[in-house]
């Protein structure tokens, strides 16, 4: 998990409740995540084990949050994320990762995910993370921050994967990423950079948005680059 309790302001869920579409092919894991969210008030959970089921669920209702695994039996989660972002621009997307490794998380970020969830996270953390995301606080891990900063500061290397468009990041955003990579809390970072502590999560969300590849053509190109799509 990224954010410690001291780092986030736990805000209450929106009045209408949070509709979560949970896409995970491993039944025990899916059950565990569902239980973790269902155990908290204010969550409505829809489940899917495959891409097809997920698409069917998307046809029925617009989710507030898409929580998806990347390896699905009938497709790749990246495609699902892209579709969801295209159809429901207001939906937040969170990728479920086993190791929180940059390869899977960055691929998801580049198509519009704004957070990630470790599969073995504790139930309370799972609900808190989803709630924070809806409140506009995107979690980011030290290793992901490190990865982004490294890409932003090195000369572009065509062979490096996954590709990441870091050109639009501001120096301040890079400073924030450095702070996160070195394990500092939002409060520490805010104090060090002379920011208000509350603005740091907003900066992180903005970083995620800047890393998203916006146009469909770009997305296809990126996906081909990443070897996610074979032509």
Write the binding mask 72 to 111 for other proteins: x where contact by CB under 8 A, - elsewhere. Answer: -------------------------xxxxx-xx-------
Q: Which of 51, 105, 127, 181 binds other proteins (CB under 8 A)?
A: 181
Nearer to other proteins (CB atom), residue 34 or residue 205? 34
SS3 135: coil
> Site size for other proteins, by CB under 8 A?
42
User: 3-state class of 19 per DSSP?
Assistant: strand
Candidate segments 60-68, 105-113, 177-185, 210-218, binder of other proteins by CB under 8 A: 177-185
Map the footprint of other proteins across residues 4-23, applying CB under 8 A. Answer: 4-6
**Shorter beta-carbon distance to other proteins: residue 58 or 164:** 164
Q: Give the integer Cα–Cα distance in Å for 156 and 115.
A: 25
Q: Which of 106-114, 182-190, 203-211, 219-227 is the region at the interface with other proteins (rule: CB under 8 A)?
A: 182-190
Contact of 176 with 200, CB cutoff 8 Å: yes
Q: What is the largest CA-CA distance in the chain?
A: 49
User: Out of 122, 168, 214, 218, which residue is the one contacting other proteins (CB under 8 A)?
Assistant: 122
Q: How far is the CB of 89 from other proteins (least distance, A)?
A: 29
Any contact of residue 68 with other proteins (CB under 8 A)?
A: no
Q: How far apart are the first and last CA of the chain?
A: 36
Backbone angles phi, psi at 170, to 5 degrees: -85, 160
Closest CA to 79 of 220, 231, 221, 205: 220
A 10 A CB-CB count for 85 gives 21
Return the closest-CA partner of residue 136 out of 200, 76, 48, 42.
Answer: 200
At 180, is the secondary structure helix, strand, or coil?
helix
Which parts of this chain interact with other proteins (CB under 8 A)? 1-2, 4-6, 26, 28-29, 31-32, 71, 97-101, 103-104, 118-125, 141-143, 145-146, 157, 159-161, 180-185, 188
């Amino acid at each position: 998990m990224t954010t410690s309790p001291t780092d986030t302001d736990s805000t209450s869920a929106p009045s209408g409740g949070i509709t979560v579409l949970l896409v995970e092919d491993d039944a025990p894991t899916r059950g565990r995540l569902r239980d973790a969210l269902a155990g908290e008030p204010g969550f409505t959970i829809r489940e899917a084990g495959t891409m097809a089921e997920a698409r069917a669920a998307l046809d029925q209702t617009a989710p507030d949050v898409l929580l998806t695994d990347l390896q699905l039996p009938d497709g790749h989660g990246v495609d699902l994320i892209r579709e969801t972002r295209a159809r429901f621009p207001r939906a937040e997307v969170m990728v479920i990762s086993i190791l929180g490794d940059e390869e899977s998380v960055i691929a998801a970020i580049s198509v519009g995910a704004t957070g990630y969830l470790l599969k073995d996270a504790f139930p309370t953390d799972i609900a808190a993370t989803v709630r924070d995301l809806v409140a506009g606080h995107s979690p980011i891990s030290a290793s992901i921050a490190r990865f982004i900063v490294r890409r932003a500061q090195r000369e572009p290397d065509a062979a490096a994967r996954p590709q990441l468009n870091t050109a639009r990041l501001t120096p301040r955003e890079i400073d924030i990423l450095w702070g996160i990579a070195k394990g500092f809390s939002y409060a520490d970072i805010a104090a060090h950079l002379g920011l208000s502590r509350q603005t740091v999560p907003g900066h992180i969300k903005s970083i995620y948005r800047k890393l998203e590849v916006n146009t469909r053509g770009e997305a296809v190109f990126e996906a081909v680059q990443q070897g996610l799509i074979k032509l």
